[in-house]
Amino acid sequence: MICEKEYKKRRDKLSKKLDKNSVTVLYSAEHQTRSNDTEYPYRQNSNFYYLCGFTESNSALVFVKKNKKTEVYLFVQEKDEKLELWHGKRLGEIEAKKRFLVNEVFVIKNFNTKLKEFLENKSVLYFDFNLQYNKVKVIKRYSKNLATYKNIALLVNKMRLVKSKSEIAIIKKALEITKEAHHSLMKMHKNTKSEYELQADVEYVFKKNGAYSDAYTSIIASGNAANTLHYIDNDKALEDGSLILVDAGCEYKYYASDITRTIPVNGKFTKAQKELYEMVLEVQLKIIKRIKPNAQRSALQLYAVKLLTKGMLKLGILKGNVKKLIKKELYKKYYPHGIGHWMGIDVHDECPYKYANGTEIPLQRGMLLTIEPGIYIDENDTTVPQKYRGIGIRIEDDILVTKNGCKNLSAGIAKSVKDVESLYSSL
């Protein structure tokens, strides 16, 4: 768990980055309509949660900075027995004052009045430029005389790049749950007939272990469906002799995990499947070895491209010269995506990859990223050997940058051919 002192430390750190005579407004997420009068399960805005840990809707966090002094105010829903009967208990103003280490707590119905007061004699207003228009209208109504608007998301996203010990501990827990889910699937899929049965098993394990939800819609792609990168139909029948690409991770206490494994339907890789799989796995292992402080993500990408291109040449998937194939980007037909992304409160954390001046941000201790090389060969691609057609493979792990190198936080999830086949045969 993340304690209130850590949230306050984050707010204090942000306060130092804010301009003098400024007001900063962060809103909670809005409820999202599913259809008519039903809604999707509520999920808090990531930056709002990062700064205060409050999970209720219809709330706001405000920083008011005069010279060097900053005061922080939290706005919450007032207690209402009738509404709470329908929608659940609210923390309320009194309990919020006891819990949160802010200067003051107000009820949200007074937000507009207080905002107008806060904005008097201020020159800068920070808010998220992706904010819903109805809220932008409100804050701009009271800030017409301000000289400058700035995007608060840029500052908070940069802070989220380096994870604290508490954050890492939560992500490790998420990965423990995700490990159980993947291993359960590896063991049980011989008794199932469809992708959606596998999805149900994975997500059952998530829920059973207290995970809020999946961190993203699970991808259970068998056969040629694995060559659709964001395949989420998950409705195909499993075919004996084919592979299943499983990209699934849970969200635990608002922190994501993101894991991909590719496994055989019948528990045994064919010779062709094994050749492709071990080529991708070797690339992944070599990339992970290069992760350390001051390494650049773009260099990891170039190295991945070089290794995968060489591997595809060796297997007869590509033909020609490595340098020319890379220069012409012909490898992209089979490897069209990046080597990985930041991960944290969001499965694709919105943290920046470059500084404001355009130079790349090097890896630093405490950063967490995925490493996920892959190869995708459509079943109708007649330019490659027939034995490889219809095979899609991706292997993805979650990597923490450490003081002198890195740690694979998901190393315990089976991925070698031997380990995957052994899990299947363990029943």
Of 290, 348, 365, 389, catalytic: 348
What range defines the domain where residue 125 resides? 4-159
**Options 167, 195, 214, 372, the catalytic residue:** 372
- Give the pLDDT mean for 231-237: 97
Q: Which of 337, 365, 381, 389 is catalytic?
A: 337
Mean of per-residue pLDDT scores for the chain: 96
- Is 87 in the active site? no
The Cβ-side half-sphere exposure at 69, using a 13 Å CA radius, reads: 3
**Looking at residue 88, what is its pLDDT?**
95
**Phi then psi for 33, rounded to 5 degrees?**
-70, 130
- Model confidence over 257-308: pLDDT tens digits? 999 999 999 999 999 999 999 999 999 999 999 999 999 999 999 999 999 9
Do 118 and 170 have their domain in common? no
pTM, rounded to two decimals: 0.96
Residues 172 and 145 in one domain: no
**The pLDDT value given to residue 426:** 62
**For range 308-317, the mean pLDDT:** 98
Residue 398 falls in the annotated catalytic set: no
What's the pLDDT score for residue 351?
Answer: 97
258 is catalytic: yes
Average pLDDT, stretch 370-390? 98
Does the annotation mark 230 as catalytic? yes
| Cα 166 from Cα 255, distance rounded (Å) | 11
Mean pLDDT of 242-269: 97
Same domain (yes/no): 75, 216: no
Residues 215 and 134 in one domain: no
Single out the catalytic residue among 167, 201, 214, 247. Answer: 247
Question: Of 143, 159, 175, which marks where a domain is finished?
Answer: 159
Range 150-154, long-range pairs (CB < 8 A, 24+ positions): 150/19, 150/22, 150/124, 150/125, 150/126, 151/126, 151/127, 152/24, 152/25, 152/26, 152/47, 152/126, 152/127, 152/128, 153/47, 153/128, 153/129, 153/350, 154/352
Instruction: Pick the catalytic residue from 7, 394, 421, 424.
Output: 394
Quote the crossing angle between the two packed helices 111-118 and 133-141, to the nearest 10°.
Answer: 50
Residues 174 and 118 placed together within one structural domain of the fold: no
CATH code where residue 292 lies: 3.90.230.10
Domain identity same for 265 and 339 = yes
Last residue of a domain, one of 125, 159, 193: 159
Please indicate whether residue 183 is annotated as part of the active site: no
- Catalytic residue flag (residue 421): no
Q: How far is CA 195 from CA 205, 239, 372, 389, 390, in A?
A: 16, 10, 22, 20, 17
Out of 81, 120, 133, 230, the active site residue is 230
Closest to 24 (Cα-Cα) out of 123, 141, 162: 123
Query: If pLDDT is split at 50, 70 and 90, which confidence band does 190 have?
Result: low
Residue 225 tokens read as 């469906």
Q: What's the pLDDT at 63?
A: 98
Q: Of 128, 159, 190, which closes a domain?
A: 159
pLDDT digits (tens, 9 = 90+) for 108-126: 999 999 999 999 999 999 9
Pick the catalytic residue from 93, 195, 201, 396.
396
In the residue annotation, 176 being an active-site residue is answered as no
Catalytic residue among 341, 346, 388, 397: 341
Q: Is 372 assigned a catalytic role?
A: yes
Supply the CATH number for residue 45's domain. 3.40.350.10
Active site annotation includes 78? no
Amino acid at 127: F
b/e per residue 163-184 (b: at least 16 CB within 10 A): beeebbebbbbbbbbbbbbbbb
pLDDT score of 68 = 85
Number of domains in the chain: 2
Question: Are residues 64 and 212 both part of a single domain?
Answer: no
Helix (H, G, I), strand (E, B) or coil at 36: coil
Same domain for 58 and 80, yes or no, is yes
341 is a catalytic site residue: yes
Query: Considering 49, 254, 376, 424, which one is annotated as catalytic?
Result: 376
349 is catalytic: no
Residues 293 and 355 reside in one and the same domain? yes
- Residue 141 pLDDT exceeds 90: no
Residue bearing tokens 């894991």: 259
As a whole number, mean pLDDT of residues 63-88 equals 95
Tell whether 149 and 169 lie within a shared domain: no
* Same domain as 173, residue 155: no
Model confidence pLDDT, tens digit, residues 94-109 = 999 999 999 999 999 9
Q: Is there a single domain that holds both residue 345 and residue 207? A: yes
